[in-house]
Structure 1
Amino acid sequence: MSIIDRPVRGSDSGRPIMALLDLLGRRWTLRVIWELRGGALSFRALQAACSGMSPSVLNQRLAELREAQIVEAGGDGYALSARGRELLELFGPLQRWSEDWARALRDG
């Protein structure tokens, strides 16, 4: 059963967006994706970049992200796949939106 076909927290709909949001909402998942934005990292380098993450949690997140085809393992360590890089690009509009939102909240 693929990550898309499994039930996710808070949704019985089976919609791919819910599976993605569930995956991205897991502790440390976004941090792993973010730390891989500059290129491949070994397990130890990735763990160091994600200060405070236990090796077992990092292993679990990497396994989930590999299954989801967002991260791939290679000779240089772990890196974002083509899909992972595409996902990272989609964070740009969300970043801009969040900055506008924060400004609006500050300005009242």
Structure 2
Amino acid sequence: MSTPDSPALSDLDAVELDILAELRSPEAVATFEMLHSTVRPEAGPRFVELLAIINELSGPNFAVDASLDLLDAVQDSGDLEVVVAAAPTVDDPITALALAQVLRRIRED
């Protein structure tokens, strides 16, 4: 809600506030720093979801948990073509989680 002294938030402002509210782990902060310039209002909910997943898995076993999450998504989707195309980058746990999220979105559509 805006007051006469404060302008209404743009869609992008609202999305960024939602995303910033999800930054609870060092991994989520690093993800936001890496990807924030690519966030558009229509992609905001997906990015917030990704940060929530990262926060859930963050900790000492983050890389292993990210790999297992991707493996689960691949098994559920059966879409190896997308994984093979992204193979050079899936060693990075954040990329693995983002790819898992993409596979889940494809399956939902």
Q: Same fold (TM over 0.5)?
A: no
Normalising by structure 2, what TM-score?
Answer: 0.26
Q: Relative to total residues, which structure has the larger helix share, 1 or 2?
A: 2
